[in-house]
């Protein structure tokens, strides 16, 4: 576990370093544009698909989940975000060699670099951790969302992301979020 925390901290610092290394280019990009409000808070609801065998067999395991995210946009194209999700079930996953991983309402926290590809279509990637009472896992998240502005700095956005847990199971999540810019 200590090695996972150290790797997570290293990943966060490397991500911040790489992001701030591109900051002068980002500043020049914004010079002629009206700047949007930089802080965005989002609440989302979704479903997490577990593509592994569960304790009850090969049934499809779909877990309800809630998300609460905070993002800081340095420009129209680049941001960093702290994305947090709570999976709302107790479940067990059967891994290789019939090892059972028990999960009880796990919380996922990722620190993501966000890039607006084209008119509200964003992709993000970052390291994080799945925190749970039995065992914690290092997580790498990659995701995509499409932001639709609905007025007064509010937006709706469908979201899809893939979480890869180190030495454990992977999940795919679909959801719908509501965001507010400040």
The pTM of the full predicted model, rounded to 2 decimals, is 0.75
Here the tokens at position 126 are 């970052």
Q: Which of 47-56, 119-128, 160-169 has the lowest mean pLDDT?
A: 47-56
Span 119-148, pLDDT tens digits: 889 999 999 999 998 889 999 999 999 999
Distance of CA 1 to the CA centre of its chain: 21
Q: What is the pLDDT of residues 21-40, one digit of tens each?
A: 444 444 444 443 446 789 99
CATH of the domain at 72: 2.40.160.20
- Residues facing 161 on adjacent strands: 143, 173
* Secondary structure, 3-state, 68-96: EEEEEECCCCEEEEEEEEEECCEEEEECH
Cβ atoms of residues 154 and 180 within 8 Å: yes
142, 124 contact by CB (below 8 A):
yes
Question: How many structural domains compose the chain?
Answer: 1
42 Cβ contact list (under 8 Å, min separation 6): 67, 68, 69, 70, 71, 157, 177, 178, 179, 180
Q: What is the extent of the structural domain holding 60?
A: 2-181
């Amino acid at each position: 576990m200590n090695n996972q925390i150290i790797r997570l901290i290293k990943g966060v610092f490397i991500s911040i370093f790489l992001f701030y290394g591109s900051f002068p280019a980002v500043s020049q990009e914004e010079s002629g544009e009206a700047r949007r409000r930089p802080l965005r808070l989002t609440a989302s609801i979704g479903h997490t698909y577990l593509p592994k065998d569960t304790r009850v067999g090969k049934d499809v395991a779909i877990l309800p989940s809630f998300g609460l995210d905070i993002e800081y946009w340095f420009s129209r194209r680049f941001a960093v975000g702290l994305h947090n999700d709570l999976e709302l079930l107790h479940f067990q996953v059967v891994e290789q060699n019939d090892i059972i991983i028990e999960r009880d309402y796990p919380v996922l926290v990722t620190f993501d670099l966000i890039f607006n590809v084209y008119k509200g279509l964003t992709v993000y990637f970052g390291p994080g951790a799945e925190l749970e009472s039995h065992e914690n896992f290092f997580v790498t998240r990659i995701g995509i969302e499409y932001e639709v502005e609905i007025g007064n700095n509010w937006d709706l956005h469908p979201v899809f992301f893939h979480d890869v847990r180190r030495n454990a199971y992977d999940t795919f999540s679909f959801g719908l979020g509501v965001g507010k810019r400040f």
